Structure 1
Amino acid sequence: MSKFGVSGSPKFDLLNSDFGWGKGRRMEVLSTDDEKYSMSLCNSSDSTGGLVVGMSLPKERMVAFATIFEDGLKL
């Protein structure tokens, strides 16, 4: 059985946080575990209210996911 990890949250807005060196322009969530299935979520810097979704899947599953996702956008 495969595990699927999810990280990040648009509710915890790190993109607009200032840690002393200015507001961020881009944010990416990285994971360094052995999982091959993961997803990350964060706010978009390109549009207000936008969401960036990062996916990490084996190639065959990524192709299937991309096809299903693209078909869903056409509805």
Structure 2
Amino acid sequence: MTADQPICCPTCKGVLPGRQRSDYTAARGRLVVVNGYCQGRCPAPAPPPRIQVPAEQAGSVRQPESVPAL
């Protein structure tokens, strides 16, 4: 199991099935006892809402002032 592969489902917090035999460790077993297995019927988590900036504010970003050379 690598760091980029989640162990628990982000929606139901159940343990996802392992891909290989070495994925099944004592720590994973404890998670299964506490959380159970993910049944695979969870809806995909909703993406975070996008923040929309009003058009009148979008163009009002100040540019940094130039600093005179020493």
Question: If you compute each CA radius of gyration, which structure gives the higher value, 1 or 2?
Answer: 2
- Of Structure 1 and Structure 2, the greater helix share is in 2
Q: TM-score, normalised by structure 1?
A: 0.21
Q: TM-score, normalised by structure 2?
A: 0.22
- Of Structure 1 and Structure 2, the greater strand share is in 1
